[in-house]
Structure 1
Amino acid sequence: MKKKIAIIGAGSWGTALAKVLEENGHKPVLYSNVEDQIKEINEEHTNKMFLPNLVLSENIKATTNLKEALTNAQIVLFVLPTKVTRIVARQVSEIIEDKVILVTASKGLEQQTHKRISEILQEEIPEEKREGIVALSGPSHAEEVAVNDLTTITAASTNLDAAEKVQELFMNNYMRIYTNKDIIGVEYGAALKNIIALGAGALAGLGYGDNAKAALITRGLAEISRLGIAFGADPLTFIGLSGVGDLIVTCTSIHSRNWQAGNMIGKGHSLDEVLETVGMVVEGASTVVAACELAKEKNIELPITEAIYSVLYEHADVRNTIIELMNRDPKAEAHSKDRK
């Protein structure tokens, strides 16, 4: 059955997901407050700033009017930078009247509160207006989804019925969706892997090879798991699509904005220079702050995460920081609860 889906955010991922939904027979409406972008989508059927080689179907509509996007929508898909999600969720709550499924396809933790995206939506949109909250996450570059490359991701929710409805929305011959009830683990994996991707990019920028990359990914996954489990995640989630899967793709691809940012830092650029050059949100740069604060709260050791924070915000030298990491006291790889 054809559904109207309001996609809040017309960046690369929101646009790619609109393409998938339209090809699956649904009615996606992209919302953005950038008038020139909306005009381009509606008149030229392109979104060149974010996906320069993609031609969109004329069936994909876009609007700067949030009420127009939300009217009669059965699904509301949030694809926004974490820092503006709460503000927009509040606006959405004031407009919608009937119950909708809320889907988050963003990856990050809110500054100060350290809340996951689903928690923000839960706080800002009352229960009587939502059928369920689903996190859509996994190894997925918008650039590849836009050209129908094979992609598998996860729809996670404590409401399995809502997760299955989202699964059905997106499934086709190039996109496969798995359901997962551990939304905590899925969201922590999605947010924290961006930090490790910054480190992977920095290693590449410094000229380190595959051995270093593999070490970072593996030990980075240990840190992601350690923090996520402390907040109630299922350990098995981190060896799935939204854990190791998303970590691999983000740490090994030039499509990743976080990898690109880390690569520039490894080559000697400051964080301010990097953010200006990349021109799009680098979620790992803000998530690392939240992760370090959460680790301190729970007394959890995250040496890689802390090292990346020190490079970004304390002007630590990248090479010296790596040497310090390598020269830490010897430890066992497998650890029990009393080992870190």
Structure 2
Amino acid sequence: MIGIAGAGAFGTALALALAKRGHEVRLWARNPDQVRLMRETGRNDTALPGVELPGTVSAHEDIGEVCGGDALLLTMPMQALGGALDAWPQIDGRQPLVACCKGVDLTTLRGPVAVIEARRPGAQAAILTGPSFAADIARGLPTALTLATRDGGALQELLSTPTLRIYRTDDVIGAELGGALKNVVAIAAGTVIGAGLGDSARAALMTRGYAEMVRLAGALGGRAETLAGLSGFGDLVLTCTSAQSRNFRFGCALGKGEAFDPRLTVEGVATARAVVELAAGRGIEMPVTAMVNALALGRIALNDAIEQLMSRPLKQE
């Protein structure tokens, strides 16, 4: 049995993929009404409308019922991860705990694996990250992800399916920061497109944003080759070029001067705030991230942000 804590689009999509591999999957949802509807209809229309759940996927409102299996996937937003672990003593770490969120915790300035390890010492903690949209996984379209863990490869085999190819790395820091920082760059890319600055500007922004990703990851112990893989470059390309990305859509709204739906979680906003603080404490220059943070907080006008980035001192690439 594989447990999934979080019945949003991504958690539900993973449940579908793993069930097709033959696993029993138990899916926890926070809202009892959502659980009831999933049981009654055999679908999770709240997250993935119209997608049928196979009989091997069951819905639960008691978190204890999804614990104790071969692995527990934690698919809540990054900023909710620590609080969830604090509130759920039922998650005791006897099974591997796999974070399926991307970001940096605002309180501790830690990534998902470090948040898990701090609250469940001794547990096998991992992160599943990379270029993926829930709708693609749910439809059974080919997708490749990175599993970062300091332990062996049993999880890689467990979570791989005919349409979900899992690559493994022991570079947890690199994988965490690749997934977190690409969301920030995606906001910036969306802002460029929303403001009508063109695809050439987006390409330049993505490239300089990628340089920031590599710079911060390297300073914190991550490896450049990890950032060049699925969890860094791959995810960056996807989220900076598709309107399926919430971060990209949020950036487009910023660029157009439009409001964005406050009900939608945009992980890159909190990540930008956390990374600005993290980088400042180490003297690391992150101009794109700093501008995204300032724009998201309303501290700078878009035209001023563009001017400041374009007037930075000329340098060797």
Q: Give the aligned partner of residue 180 of structure 2.
A: 191
Secondary structure of 1:176 counterpart: strand
Residue 155 of structure 1, CA deviation: 0.8
Secondary structure of 2:295 counterpart: helix
The one of 87, 95, 108 aligned to 2:90: 95
Paired residue total: 317
What TM-score do you get using the length of structure 1 for normalisation? 0.90
Residue 58 of structure 1, CA deviation: 2.5
Q: Assess if the C-alpha contact under 8 Å between 2:21 and 2:162 holds in 1.
A: no
Consecutive unaligned residues of structure 2, counting only runs of 5 or more, are none
Are 1:300 and 2:284 counterparts?
Answer: yes
Q: Assess if the C-alpha contact under 8 Å between 1:24 and 1:169 holds in 2.
A: no
Residue 96 of structure 1, CA deviation: 4.5
Are 1:274 and 2:266 counterparts?
Answer: no
Distance (whole Å) between structure 2 residues aligned to residue 50 and residue 212 of structure 1? 34
Q: Give the aligned partner of residue 337 of structure 1.
A: none
Distance (whole Å) between structure 2 residues aligned to residue 283 and residue 89 of structure 1? 19
Q: Give the aligned partner of residue 111 of structure 2.
A: 116
Q: Give the aligned partner of residue 39 of structure 1.
A: 36
Counting only pairs closer than 5 Å after superposition, residues 5-154 of structure 1 correspond to structure 2 as 5-70=2-67, 72-92=68-88, 94-96=89-91, 99-127=94-122, 130=123, 132-154=124-146
What TM-score do you get using the length of structure 2 for normalisation? 0.96
Distance (whole Å) between structure 2 residues aligned to residue 156 and residue 98 of structure 1? 17
Percent of aligned positions with the same letter in both sequences? 36
Deviations 1:4-26 (A, max 9, x none): 11101111110000011101111
CA RMSD, Structure 1 to Structure 2 (Å): 1.4
Distance (whole Å) between structure 1 residues aligned to residue 27 and residue 146 of structure 2? 22
C-alpha spacing 1:67/1:267, structure 2 compared with 1 (3 Å): same
Secondary structure of 1:136 counterpart: strand
Q: Give the aligned partner of residue 260 of structure 1.
A: 249
AA aligned opposite 1:133? A
Residue 275 of structure 1, CA deviation: 4.3
Are 1:289 and 2:286 counterparts?
Answer: no
Residue 64 of structure 1, CA deviation: 0.8
Residue 302 of structure 1, CA deviation: 0.7
Distance (whole Å) between structure 1 residues aligned to residue 253 and residue 112 of structure 2? 28
Q: Give the aligned partner of residue 317 of structure 1.
A: 301
Distance (whole Å) between structure 2 residues aligned to residue 232 and residue 243 of structure 1? 15
Deviations 1:247-276 (A, max 9, x none): 11011111111111111111103xxx4242
Distance (whole Å) between structure 2 residues aligned to residue 85 and residue 230 of structure 1? 25
Deviations 1:87-107 (A, max 9, x none): 221344x22467211111110
Counting only pairs closer than 5 Å after superposition, residues 169-184 of structure 1 correspond to structure 2 as 169-184=158-173
Deviations 1:79-122 (A, max 9, x none): 11122211221344x22467211111110111121011111111
AA aligned opposite 1:291? V
Residue 125 of structure 1, CA deviation: 1.3
Q: Assess if the C-alpha contact under 8 Å between 1:149 and 1:174 holds in 2.
A: yes
Deviations 1:256-315 (A, max 9, x none): 11111111111103xxx4242xx2211001010001001100101111111111111143
Distance (whole Å) between structure 1 residues aligned to residue 98 and residue 10 of structure 2? 13
Q: Assess if the C-alpha contact under 8 Å between 1:275 and 1:282 holds in 2.
A: no
Distance (whole Å) between structure 2 residues aligned to residue 313 and residue 194 of structure 1? 16
Q: Assess if the C-alpha contact under 8 Å between 2:193 and 2:199 holds in 1.
A: no
Residue 184 of structure 1, CA deviation: 0.6
AA aligned opposite 1:27? E
Secondary structure of 1:197 counterpart: helix
C-alpha spacing 1:136/1:97, structure 2 compared with 1 (3 Å): closer
Distance (whole Å) between structure 2 residues aligned to residue 114 and residue 208 of structure 1? 33
Moved more, 148-157 or 54-63: 54-63
AA aligned opposite 1:56? L
Consecutive unaligned residues of structure 1, counting only runs of 5 or more, are 334-340
